């Protein structure tokens, strides 16, 4: 299927994308932020409260944003990590995704402002993600959450980070997770070109060279670190006993095949997995949930999955 006509029209109207390698870091971050904060949340995704907090993280103060749904506490709790190649993004850039997941799943969403590369390379981001999960498990009752009903969710790099957190939680004996959601996170260092990486090397939107550049910023020793399951969760020695997992992929995305291979790896290990590919979609499409039917579909599917597994 070709790129969705609505996305094609949007991209045609936008200035040509130079690729992240051809932009200085400050300009790239500002461009992503400016374009992201203008995107609306879905009109039918009300939340009761939004609160910013700061906790003690592994590298100093760690920012969190708590989205509380309408209804009566205690609520399930979902730790959410935004995308951005480990290099860009913040609590505002995927605010619309966090709001949608909160409203439609009925869970408190704890969005994590993890440290970014290259200033803070691997393993800063996965360490911050796991610290946020531990904090939420230990303090859920303080903010209306139920520590017995925890899940993780993320998009793109954020999907990789929560997959790493799920592995760490399993290996350390907790916090116990009921579900994980990965929206187009590859969960793998791009050491091999998959069919989708070849087909969509030039985009649309995300290019294969963009992925390479992001990892150049993130890993200071890629020859070794690419094999670390905290960087490439698909390479863990075992994927048994991980929580039920939802993987949503975009058809026209260079990272599609890696993300789907992650789902297949979990399924082979006996983990209940739902893998769904969204036709005509491109990497990053979930951020357009306010107006794009495909984006709405993936977040409604993810929220329904969370709701199912977070029920009492």
Please list the active-site residues: 156
Q: Where are the alpha helices (DSSP H) in the chain?
A: 5-13, 25-37, 95-105, 124-139, 157-172, 195-199, 208-218, 222-225, 256-268, 293-310
Residue with tokens 């095949």: 257
Measured CA to CA, the distance from residue 184 to residue 283 in angstroms comes to: 7
- Cβ neighbours for 221, distance < 8 A, ≥ 6 positions apart: none
Contact 177, 151 (CB under 8 A): yes
Q: Is 116 helix (H, G, I), strand (E, B) or coil?
A: coil
Contact 289, 42 (CB under 8 A): yes
Contact 105, 76 (CB under 8 A): yes
Measured CA to CA, the distance from residue 4 to residue 68 in angstroms comes to: 33
Q: In angstroms, how far is CA 173 from the centroid of its own chain?
A: 23
């Amino acid at each position: 299927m070709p790129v969705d006509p609505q996305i094609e029209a949007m991209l045609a109207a936008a200035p040509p994308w130079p690729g992240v390698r051809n932009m200085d870091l400050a300009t790239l971050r500002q461009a992503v932020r400016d374009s992201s904060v203008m995107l609306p949340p879905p009109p039918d995704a009300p939340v009761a409260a939004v609160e910013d907090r700061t906790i003690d993280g592994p590298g100093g103060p760690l920012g969190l944003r708590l989205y509380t749904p309408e209804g009566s506490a205690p609520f399930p709790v979902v730790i959410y990590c935004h995308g951005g190649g480990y290099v860009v993004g913040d609590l505002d850039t995927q605010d619309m995704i966090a709001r949608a997941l909160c409203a439609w799943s009925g869970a408190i969403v704890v969005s994590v402002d993890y440290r970014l590369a290259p200033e803070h390379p691997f393993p800063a981001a996965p360490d911050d993600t796991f610290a946020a999960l531990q904090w939420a498990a230990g303090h859920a009752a303080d903010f209306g959450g139920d520590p017995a009903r925890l899940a993780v969710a993320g998009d793109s790099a954020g999907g990789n980070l929560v997959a790493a957190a799920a592995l760490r939680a399993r290996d350390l004996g907790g916090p116990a997770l009921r579900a994980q959601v990965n929206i187009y996170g590859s969960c793998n260092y791009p050491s091999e070109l998959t069919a989708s990486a070849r087909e969509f090397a030039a985009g649309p939107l995300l290019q294969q060279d963009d992925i390479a550049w992001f990892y150049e910023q993130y890993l200071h020793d890629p020859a070794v670190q690419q094999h670390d399951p905290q960087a490439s969760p698909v390479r863990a020695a075992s994927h048994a006993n991980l929580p039920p997992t939802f993987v949503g992929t975009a058809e026209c995305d260079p990272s599609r095949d890696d993300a789907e291979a992650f789902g297949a790896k979990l399924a082979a290990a006996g983990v209940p997995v739902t893998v769904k590919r969204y036709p005509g979609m491109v990497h990053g499409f979930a951020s357009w949930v306010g107006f794009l039917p495909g984006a709405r579909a993936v977040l409604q599917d993810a929220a329904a999955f969370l709701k199912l597994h977070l029920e009492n």
